[in-house]
Every structure is written in structure tokens, then in C-alpha cells.
DNA sequence: AATTCGGGGGC
DNA sequence: GCCCCAGAATT
């Protein structure tokens, strides 16, 4: 028989897994939780800088809870999936107000908190509290479907449920092995059982892997989901007037919720009419860029305007906000307002606007 | 059950 | 171009 799959994985992780990521070598649930949220659908290399910055700014969950949502969003800017930042903030406040500033220890309770689903709850409970519950992230789905040579379509819900059950059966008997086991699942998927060209010769499960035996490991998992992106086109005006820049905050739902952008219009004509009303001294119209989001190709046009001091920008923008839906400015949470350079630095801008503002 | 949320890495 | 990434919440 030999060692079980979980025993093999635990031994392998201790010898060959990753041990020096910034969120490892701690059982502080705050640090583990913060890393797990940032790492949702996001690669390790992308998270590194953000993680250290958040910890430096907010060393404890109480510090984070005491921050404003705007501060958190500004620090999260560029990382994507901004509902994570909103839920991060809500979760910190819930931990403080409903749990006395201490994270709950059971996965089932953790999963009731904002932004913590079943997999993240299991990661926290396993890493910090030795609870015998399984994660099920992209790594585990790939590792498991290959090890079991299981060809179920992952876009089908009941297949996911089946995988949860299969993964649950594999957890180690000893709670003390849970941190290494959970990390092992992640490390195996990230470093050996990779999406393409898996390094099966290095795999601790190689003797048992049914996918490898069938010669199908590299073709799993099966996912039929086809992604069709819609297209949207917007015209942005970068309005500068006497050292100030006009910005608007996006509504608290939808794409880039709560972040800041230049005022935007859904038609070229509407933007041009506003541009004309502003009587700019200089106009710099840049080639459009296509910003790719998960479900959207967003074509963004940008004209940079220098507007004389005597022009009432506020009035022009308000009139455009109030215009009929076709000609109106795109919806904002709060009316556009001018910001100094220092003020701009405290706001969160989506990646393409960040690039424009910093000159790439 | 299907959609909606970003942005970057790697090939 | 394509798929993937320490997924969750919403509809």
C-alpha cells in the first residue's frame, strides 16, 4: 500500500514546497486572511508588493477596520476585483464588532464573513487552526482531476460539488499536518502539476496518478466554458485647470466600483460638445487603447485638455451630467471635482488611468 | 446555473 | 491570440 496521498504530499511539501513567501511562517489569521483575499484569482508575483504595503499601513485587523473604505480602495488600486477590497474592509469591521477583534477559528464560521467563501475559509482554518477541511482552488481542481483522471466538466455545478467531496476525503488524519498539506496542494499545482507541461517525474503522487497512467494528465481538467467578451467604448476627458485635475468617483457597483477616473462619456459627440464648451487652450488627443477585462473589451479614448482659469468647469460638467441619457456623462457616485496633485495621490485609479497619470 | 466582477504572466 | 491565476457574490 505505502503512504497515502496526503502523507506523500505532506512529506513532499516539507522537503520541496515553498516556505519563504511573506504570508508563510505565521499562524496569525489576519496575515493569512489578507494573503488569501489578495491571492484570489491573482498570481503570487502580483500580490507581493501589495501585501507588504497593506501590512505596513495596517498591522492588525483593528487597524484595517479603522481605515476608511476610500483609503483601502486607493491602496488596492491596480490589483483588480475591487469587490475584494470592499469585502476586506467589511470583514475587518465584522471581526472587530462581532468577534471582539479575533478571527473565528472554525471554517464554517469564517465562511459567514464578507469575502470569505468555502475555500478561503478552509485555507485560514487549516493554516492557522489545524482544522481538517479542504481548499478547492484552481490548483486543487487541476491536481485532483489529473490524479483521478476525472473528466467531468468543471463548468457544471454538480461536478464542482463532486470535486469538493473528493477533496474532502483526502485531508490528513492529523490536524497538525493540515498546514503542510494545504500548502502542499497549492505548491504542487503551482510548481509541478502546472497547467502546461506538468513535471510528473517530480511529483509525489506520480506512482498513483491515474491521469498520468492514462496519458491524459496534461489535458485535464476539462472546461468547456467559452468566454465571450462584450465591447464598450468610452471617451474620457483629462481636464487640467490651474494645477488641478477633474476626477469623478465611479458608482459603488459595477466595474471599478468606488474607484476614480476622469469624467467619461459613452459617445464621442457628447464628449466633443463638452470639450468645446470648455474652450481648452490645448488639446492632446491620444490613440485609443483597449483595456481587457474578464467580460469586456473596453476601448478608451482620451483627450487631455488645458482649460483657462475663467472657464466654469463645474457648470459645464453638471450640465452634461443632467443631459439626456445619450449625451450625459457616465454615472458617478459623486459629482466631478478638482484635485491637486497631492489630492490625486490619495485616490485609487484603475490600471489604465494609473498608467496615463504616471506617464506609463 | 450562469454572470459578474481586473489585471497581469506566460506561451 | 489564448488560458490561467490561493474565488466569491449576485442574479
pLDDT per position as a tens digit, A301-337: 999 999 999 999 999 999 999 988 888 999 999 889 9
Q: pLDDT tens digits, residue range A280-293?
A: 999 999 999 999 99
CA of A254 to C1' of C11 (A): 13
Using alpha carbons, select from A303, A304, A291, A302 the residue that is nearest to residue A255. A291
What would the grid cell of residue A344 be?
490625486
Beta bridge partners of A300: A234, A289
What would the grid cell of residue A357 be?
497619470
Closest residue (CA) to C1' of nucleotide B8 is A46
Radius of gyration of chain A (CA): 25
pLDDT on residue A151: 93
At CA A164, angle to CA A158 and CA A166, rounded to 5? Answer: 105
Strand C atom within 7 Å of A207 CB: no
Q: What distance separates the 2 farthest-apart alpha carbons in chain A?
A: 84
> Under a CB-based contact definition with an 8 Å cutoff, are residues A325 and A240 in contact?
no
Closest residue (CA) to C1' of nucleotide B5 is A81
What would the grid cell of residue A292 be?
481587457
Strand C atom within 7 Å of A87 CB: yes
Q: What percent of chain A has pLDDT over 70?
A: 100
CA of A185 to C1' of B9 (A): 21
CA of A41 to C1' of C1 (A): 21
Mean pLDDT value across residues A241-252? 97
Strand B atom within 7 Å of A294 CB: yes
Just list the catalytic residues of A: 36
Strand B atom within 7 Å of A157 CB: yes
- For the stretch A10-14, contacts whose Cβ atoms lie closer than 8 Å and that sit 24 or more positions apart, written own/partner, are A10/A172, A10/A177, A10/A180, A10/A181, A10/A184, A11/A204, A12/A184, A12/A188, A12/A204, A13/A180, A13/A181, A13/A183, A13/A184, A13/A187, A13/A188, A14/A180
Strand B atom within 7 Å of A352 CB: yes
Mean pLDDT value across residues A60-86? 98
* Nucleotide of closest approach to A157 (CA, C1'): B1
Tell me the C-alpha distance between A30 and A28, whole Å.
Answer: 5
Q: How many CB atoms lie within 10 A of CB A324?
A: 7
What would the grid cell of residue A120 be?
478561503
The dihedral formed by the CA atoms of A87, A89, A93 and A99, expressed in degrees to the nearest 10: 60
CA of A310 to C1' of C10 (A): 46
Strand C atom within 7 Å of A137 CB: yes
Strand C atom within 7 Å of A89 CB: no
**Domains A5-219 and A230-357 belong to one CATH topology:** no
The domain spans of chain A are 5-219, 230-357
Strand B atom within 7 Å of A196 CB: yes
Tell me the C-alpha distance between A217 and A209, whole Å.
Answer: 8
Strand B atom within 7 Å of A254 CB: yes
What would the grid cell of residue A176 be?
497538525
Mean pLDDT value across residues A14-20? 98
What would the grid cell of residue A64 be?
484595517
* Nucleotide of closest approach to A123 (CA, C1'): C6
Q: Kind and range of the H or E element at A82?
A: none
pLDDT on residue A158: 80
Residues 325-354 of A with CB under 7 A from strand C: none
pLDDT value at A349 more than 90: yes
Mean pLDDT value across residues A170-195? 98
Tell me the C-alpha distance between A267 and A271, whole Å.
Answer: 7
CA of A200 to C1' of C9 (A): 36
Residues 33-62 of A with CB under 7 A from strand C: 35-36, 39-44
Helix, strand or coil, per DSSP, at residue A38: helix
pLDDT value at A56 more than 90: yes
Q: Which CATH number fits domain A5-219: 3.20.20.70, 1.10.287.1260, 1.10.340.30, 1.20.272.10?
A: 1.10.340.30
Mean pLDDT value across residues A158-178? 96
Mean pLDDT value across residues A153-179? 94
**Is residue A156 very low, low, confident or very high in pLDDT (cuts 50, 70, 90)?**
confident
Which residues make Cβ contacts (< 8 Å) with residue A324, sequence separation at least 6?
none
CA of A2 to C1' of B4 (A): 46
Which positions in strand B are less than 7 Å from the protein's CB atoms? 1-11
Q: What are phi and psi of A318, to 5 degrees?
A: -65, -40
CA of A137 to C1' of C7 (A): 7
**Is residue A106 very low, low, confident or very high in pLDDT (cuts 50, 70, 90)?**
very high
pLDDT-wise least confident of A226-230, A249-253, A309-313, A345-349: A226-230
The dihedral formed by the CA atoms of A246, A252, A258 and A261, expressed in degrees to the nearest 10: -40
* Nucleotide of closest approach to A355 (CA, C1'): B7
The CATH topology of domain A230-357 is: Nucleoside Triphosphate Pyrophosphohydrolase (3.90.79)
pLDDT value at A1 more than 80: no
CA of A28 to C1' of C7 (A): 22
Amino acid at each position: 500500500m505505502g503512504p497515502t496521498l496526503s502523507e506523500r504530499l505532506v512529506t513532499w511539501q516539507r522537503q520541496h514546497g515553498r516556505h519563504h513567501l511573506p504570508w508563510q511562517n505565521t499562524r496569525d489569521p489576519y496575515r493569512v486572511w489578507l494573503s488569501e483575499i489578495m491571492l484570489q484569482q491573482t498570481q503570487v508575483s502580483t500580490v507581493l508588493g501589495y501585501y507588504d504595503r497593506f501590512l505596513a499601513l495596517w498591522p492588525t485587523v483593528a487597524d484595517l477596520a479603522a481605515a476608511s473604505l476610500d483609503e483601502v480602495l486607493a491602496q488596492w488600486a491596480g490589483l483588480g476585483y475591487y469587490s475584494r477590497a470592499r469585502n476586506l474592509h467589511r470583514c475587518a469591521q465584522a471581526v472587530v464588532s462581532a468577534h471582539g477583534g479575533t478571527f473565528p477559528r472554525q471554517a464554517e464560521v469564517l465562511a459567514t464573513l464578507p469575502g470569505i467563501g468555502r475555500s478561503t475559509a478552509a485555507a485560514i482554518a487549516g493554516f492557522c487552526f489545524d482544522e481538517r477541511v479542504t481548499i478547492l482552488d484552481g490548483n486543487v481542481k487541476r491536481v485532483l482531476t489529473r490524479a483521478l483522471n476525472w473528466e467531468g466538466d468543471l463548468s457544471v455545478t454538480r461536478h464542482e460539488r463532486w470535486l469538493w467531496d473528493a477533496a474532502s476525503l483526502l485531508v490528513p488524519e492529523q490536524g497538525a499536518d493540515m498546514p503542510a498539506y494545504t500548502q502542499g496542494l497549492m505548491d504542487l499545482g503551482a510548481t509541478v502539476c502546472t497547467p502546461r507541461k506538468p513535471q510528473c517525474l517530480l511529483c509525489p503522487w506520480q506512482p498513483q496518478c491515474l491521469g498520468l497512467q492514462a496519458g491524459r494528465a496534461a489535458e485535464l481538467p476539462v472546461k468547456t466554458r467559452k468566454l465571450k467578451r462584450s465591447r464598450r467604448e468610452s471617451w474620457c476627458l483629462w481636464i487640467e485647470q490651474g494645477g488641478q485635475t477633474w476626477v469623478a468617483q465611479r458608482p459603488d457597483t459595477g466595474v471599478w466600483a468606488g474607484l476614480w477616473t476622469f469624467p467619461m462619456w459613452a459617445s464621442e459627440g457628447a464628449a466633443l460638445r463638452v470639450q468645446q464648451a470648455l474652450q481648452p487652450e490645448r488639446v492632446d488627443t491620444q490613440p485609443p487603447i483597449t483595456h481587457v477585462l474578464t467580460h469586456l473589451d473596453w476601448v478608451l479614448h482620451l483627450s487631455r485638455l488645458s482649460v483657462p482659469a475663467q472657464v466654469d468647469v463645474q457648470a459645464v460638467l453638471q450640465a452634461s451630467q443632467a443631459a439626456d441619457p445619450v449625451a450625459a456623462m457616465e454615472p458617478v457616485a459623486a459629482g466631478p471635482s478638482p484635485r491637486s496633485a497631492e489630492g490625486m495621490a490619495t485616490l485609487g485609479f484603475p490600471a489604465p488611468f494609473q498608467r496615463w497619470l504616471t506617464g506609463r
